[in-house]
Chain A
Amino acid sequence: MPDIELVNMSRHICRNVDLRIMDNEILVIVGTTGAGKTTLLNVIAGVVGYKGSVLIDGVNVDKVSPRRRGVGYLFQGLALFPHMTVEANITFGLSAAGIEKNAADERVSSLMEMVHIKHLIHRYPHTLSGGEKKRVALARSLAPSPKVLLLDEPTASLDHQTAKYLRTELVPLLKKLEMTTVYVTHDLREAEEIADRIALMSHGRIEQVSTPRDFFFDPRNEFVSEFVGMPNIIECDRSRILTSGLVEVVSDEMTMVLPYDGGNIRKIAIPPDDIYISDVKPPGPALNRFTGKAEEISRHGSNVRVRVSIGKNGLLAELPASAFDELSLEEGGDVHVVIKLRRLRYVES
């Protein structure tokens, strides 16, 4: 599958965007509402006008109409044709390409099987659930064998479980099809789950394009750091594998046992909201628990940030103001810290 390149592209809020999406890559564009993510997809698909250039597989497609760009597009609102059955929706692109009926039927059948919607063949879109509609829209956009696939918030408005289920199916499918994919979402965790690389957009500009890991360990600027939740980066002095899936890491006075199925760890990123603080020693085994000093306490909207020093390490913890108000913590006072193991990220030696 080909690569995509945007050169000095401008449209609405997007200004002078340069971006390259590699062959067979899943690039996830994240950003807040109004950042210009959908505009970027619309430009690649050619359904809106723009300045600058778009190259697909090295070929400039600025003058090529959307119908000849070879782009599959799953729109945010899905845009399933309400007057057509599921089968007719998926067949639409194949008939448009002049593919003969037998071949088209075969392709539709295999696509429906691939996304598990064969039982919905004669149903109309309004009778489907949110998840089923997304699957139909995905099958429809894949039907004409596009060169690249654009997915605009494919899991939006789905419940958490359905969204996760869809994602776990989607990534292997895209990899199997070797599809160059641009995937838009506002959810960084979702992006991390599926992306080969992540592009963070803000106000029409690309702030950073890098691997999910680099977003945490090497944020290019404060905006990126804020967006990923200003993780605490802990440099490790040494680490050793305890058993398969467990690593002991030492950083100055802190010794942590972490779930990790890899080699030795050089750096750890801990999100501030994954650090639990208390004014009394928490019950339970003394694993990943430390006592430090509250260096600085500051309020940020409905949250409170507490900067804690443990030996040479400094940690930033963030908790809701309502939870903080129940603690009797003061700057300079002792504070007990527990590190949650939910969203830790690592860099190996």
Chain B
Amino acid sequence: MNNESGRLQSAWGALPVAVFIMVWEIVGRFDLFPGQFFFPPFSTVVKEFYHLTANGVLGKNFASSLVRVLIGLCSGSIAGIIVGVIMGWRSVINRALNPIISLLYPIPALGWLPLLMLWIGINEMLPITIIFICSFFPVVYNTVTGIRNVDKRYIQAAETLGASNMRILCKVIIPLALPNIFTGLRLEAGMSWRVLIAAEMVAIPTGIGALLMQAESLVRVDIIMVCLIVLSVMCLLFERVFVIMEKYMIGKWSNHA
């Protein structure tokens, strides 16, 4: 019964997308959009997707972007979790670093771009560093919040049960902070793709963002749309990966902590 209702819900969710694609196809095919030259039908975009995949252009650029996102997001998140845990666990370090983090956190990741172009030049490290910055600060913030919000009673209970500080941190505090940490990771998983595309469009000659810019210069709206669809799917996919990880790791208890 539950599976059935789940399938029904998915079908209802897909319906607006199908309608949207249908309207798009009709508008494109029957030139209903003013300046129809800039509005290819969906089928043309699909054909171009196939073409770009077959000749390897999309695959090559996609792989470049994916590697950058994976390295930047992983390193930024891991560093963010480590710094966040230390700040959350030790008040002295939190007091020392919090003002700095608070000053740097509001700067949009792309705001760092001009400075980083001068500091590290236009190379592979540039988009990776931008993504690192993009994921680092929110993950730090969420981790600190998660660690500091762990109910003191759990820590006291662990203490009276004889646990060392390190054991309390690893076995009690970090697991209980995971819901907050995952919130940060989930948000930044999608954001890292958005930031990457912007960085590639401005400064890097390879990747989905660079492909977008090339398509724009050749007035290839169909390629632009292919790139945007790929971007959209990747943002969604990355967020879903973290949702699934979260569900797997803490789903059994997180709503009842």
Contacts and interface: CB of A to CB of B under 8 A. Distances in A.
B is a partner of A: yes
Interface of A: 42, 45, 47, 65-69, 71-73, 75, 77, 79, 81-83, 92-93, 96-97, 124-126, 140-141, 143-144
A83 B163 contact: no
Given A124-B252, A124-B253, A124-B256, A79 B164 contact: no
A81 B154 contact: yes
B250 interface: yes
A79 B159 contact: no
Contact of A79 (B153, B167, B253, B254): B153
B156 A75 contact: yes
B108 to A, nearest CB: 35
Given A47-B159, A67-B162, A73-B160, A83 B167 contact: no
B171 interface: yes
Given A81-B172, A83-B176, A92-B171, A66 B159 contact: yes
Contacts of B250: 83
Given A67-B160, A79-B157, 14 more contacts: A67-B164, A73-B157, A81-B154, A81-B157, A82-B253, A82-B257, A83-B253, A92-B163, A93-B161, A96-B162, A96-B164, A96-B167, A125-B253, A143-B161
B20 to A, nearest CB: 40
B31 interface: no
Contacts of B163: 67, 92-93, 96
Contacts of A71: 160
A67 B171 CA distance: 15
Interface string B144-157: 00000001011011
Interface of B: 151, 153-154, 156-164, 167, 171-172, 175-176, 178, 250, 252-257
Contacts of A79: 151, 153-154, 156-157
A268 B158 CA distance: 47
A160 B161 CA distance: 30
Contacts of A66: 156, 159-160
26 contacts: A42-B156, A45-B160, A47-B159, A65-B159, A67-B159, A67-B162, A68-B162, A69-B160, A71-B160, A73-B157, A75-B156, A79-B153, A79-B156, A81-B176, A82-B176, A82-B257, A83-B178, A83-B250, A83-B253, A92-B171, A93-B162, A96-B163, A97-B162, A124-B256, A125-B253, A141-B160
Contacts of A141: 160-161
Contacts of B156: 42, 45, 47, 66, 73, 75, 79
Most buried by B among A67, A69, A125: A67
Contacts of A47: 156, 159-160
B164 to A, nearest CB: 7
Contacts of B175: 83
B138 to A, nearest CB: 23
A75 B151 CA distance: 13
A73 to B, nearest CB: 4
A146 to B, nearest CB: 8
B159 to A, nearest CB: 4
A140 B161 contact: yes
Most buried by A among B151, B159, B160, B256: B160
A83 B171 CA distance: 9
B161 A144 contact: yes
Contact of B162 (A75, A125, A126, A144): A144
A51 to B, nearest CB: 20
Contacts of B257: 82-83
A75 B164 contact: no
Contacts of A45: 156, 160
Q: Which 6 A-B pairs have the closest CB atoms?
A: A126-B256, A93-B161, A79-B157, A79-B153, A96-B163, A66-B159
Most buried by B among A69, A83, A141: A83
A81 B176 CA distance: 9
A307 to B, nearest CB: 48
A126 B178 CA distance: 17
A125 B256 contact: yes
A97 B162 CA distance: 6
B153 A75 contact: yes
Nearest to A150: B160
B246 to A, nearest CB: 13
Nearest to B151: A79
Contacts of A65: 159
B159 A82 contact: no
Contact of B253 (A72, A75, A92, A126): A126
A58 B163 CA distance: 24
B249 to A, nearest CB: 9
A92 B161 contact: yes
Contact of A82 (B161, B164, B256): B256
Contact of A77 (B153, B158, B252): B153
B165 to A, nearest CB: 9
Contacts of A92: 158, 161, 163, 171
B235 to A, nearest CB: 30
